[in-house]
Chain A
Amino acid sequence: MSILSVENLNVYYGVIHAIKDISFTVEKGEIVTLIGANGAGKTTILQTITGLVPMKSGIVRFEDNIINKSIGHKLVSMGIAHVPEGRRVFANLNVLQNLMLGAYTRNSKSEIEETLKTVFKKFPRLEERKMQIAGTLSGGEQQMLAMGRALMSHPKLLLMDEPSMGLSPIYVNKIFEIIEEVHKEGISILLVEQNAKKALNIANRAYVLETGRIVKTGSSSELSNDPIIKASYLGE
C-alpha cells in the first residue's frame, strides 16, 4: 500500500507554473528521494504536501485519506512529520522546548518521555545541550535538532528537505546514517536532496525533477548507473 501518493499535482507561484502535473508514490517502508537542481521544485512539493504552499490541482493521499484540504497542523497527528529546508528550529527556545514542540499533538506524558529517550539515544549531543538556546547550536546540531523534533511526533512518514545543506562532510555522513537508522525502525521517508549521490545510496527509488517535471524515475541502482544521471547529477 502506498503510504503517500501524489497524483497530477500542479502548483503555481503567481503566474509561474512551478510544479507541472507531477505524480509519484512512496510505498510503506520505502525511502524515496526526489533529486534535481536548484529551482526544480523539490521543496515546493514537500511544502504542498504539508499545506505550507497551496496547490492549484491534484490529489494527495496519505494512507487512505485524501489530505488536499487538510490544514497543515492536522497532518502531524495523522502521522506526517516534515523536517523543513533550512532546519527552522525555534532559535530563541532551548533544545528541550524545541523537542517538546515536536510532540505538541501528543498527550500521553509517559509516551512522550519514552520517545524523548529514543531521540536522545540517537542524538546524544542534544541531551548534552538540552538547556542550550537552539540559535546558538552549530548547523549540524540544529539539523539534528530539527530531525529529533520531527521524530518526537512519532511519525509514520518523514518528509526531509535538504538535510545535508550547509553541513560539514562529517555531519552529512552522520545525518545520512541516522536517516537509515530511522528507516530501519519502520518509518517511511521522502527525501529531497541536492547531494544526489548520497541520496541514491540510501534510497530504494528516486524521481528526477527538472523545472517542475519528473523526467526520470526508477530504482536507485538503475539511476545510479544511468549515464545521463551520472553526468548531470553525480559528477562522473
Chain B
Amino acid sequence: MLDGLSSNATVAKIRALHGKMLTKENYKEMLTKRSVPEIAEYLAATPRYRETLKDIDPMTVHRGFLETLLEKDNFDAYIRLCEFQQLNKDRFFDFLIEKNEIECVLMLINSINTGVDRSYLNELPGYIIKHTRLDLLELSRAGDFNQLMKLLRGTPYHKPLVRVPLSDDGTVDYTECERRLRTQYYSNIISEAEKAFPDSQSEEVVRMVKADIDFRNMINAYRMKAFFGFSGEQIKAHQIKISNIGKKLDSYYSLETADQMLEWLCRNVIFTEVTDSALIEVMMQRDKFRRLEHRIYRSFNAPVVLYAFVQLCDFETSNITHIIEGIRYGVDPSYIENNILIC
C-alpha cells in the first residue's frame, strides 16, 4: 500500500516536470512557423523536448516520427515516475500501459475489419513493446478475429471481447469492442485504486476517473446525436457504464436535438455560452485541462497527480499535432489557435 507521505517526492517531481511543459507563449511561437522542420527545430530547442529530439535532423525528420517521439517522451516520463519510488508495485499504476494495450488491440481489430494487411504492425508504437504484459508483436500474427481471440486467451482482454458477435463477413462491431474494453479498463483502475490506497486517496482518484468517464461519455453522446442522429436509448446503450456513475447524464442522453445537448453542456459543464457547435469539444477539453492543472497544483496524492499529468501530456501532444497538421495544410494560424487547448 502506498503511504501518503512516501509519494510526496513523486508529486514534487511531477510538478517540476509540469513546470517544463509548453506554455501558451510556446504555442504562439510555434504558430509563427511555416513548416514541419521549423517546428521540429523549435521543439528541439525547448527545455521540454531538448533531450528527446537531440538526435533528430529537423530537416529530414518525418512528421509521424516526430509525433511518435513526443508520445514516447510522455510514456518514458510516466515509466520513470512509476519506477522513481517503486509505485509500479501497485497495479493501479499500470493504467497507462493498459490503456496503450487496449489501443493496440483496438488497432488490430480495426485492421482485421478493414482487411488492411500489416497496418497493425506498421502503426504499433515500438517503445511500448517491452513494457506490456501482452505480446503485442505476436498479436500481429492474427489474421482474423478468431485467431485474435486465441492469442488473447489468458489475458484480461479475452473476457470482454469473446462475447462480441462475429458477423458473416468475419468483422466485429468496433464500437462495441471499444466500449467493452474501456468499460473494463475503467472498472479495473477504480477497483485497483480502492484496493491499494487509503480512503481519502482512493476517493480522489475515483472521483477523477469518474469525471474522465463522464467526459468521454458526454462527448460521444453529442457526436452520436449531432452526426448520426441516435436516439436517447441508442446513445445510452453505447456509453461506458460503471455502477453508480453517470446517472445524472440520463437526462442529457434523452435530449431531442444536438442543439439542446449543446445548451445542456454549456449550462452544466463549461458554464459559458458557445454558439458555434464546432467549438464545444474544444471548450470542454479546455475545461478539463484547467481541472487537471488544478489537480496537479492542489493534490498531494501521487496517483491523482500522475493520472492528471499523463492526461495533460496527451493534451500537449495533441496540441503540437494540431499545429503541425495545420501548418502542413496551410490553415490560418488564428484558426489553429482557436482549436488548440491553451488556457
Is chain B found bound to chain A in the same assembly?
Answer: no
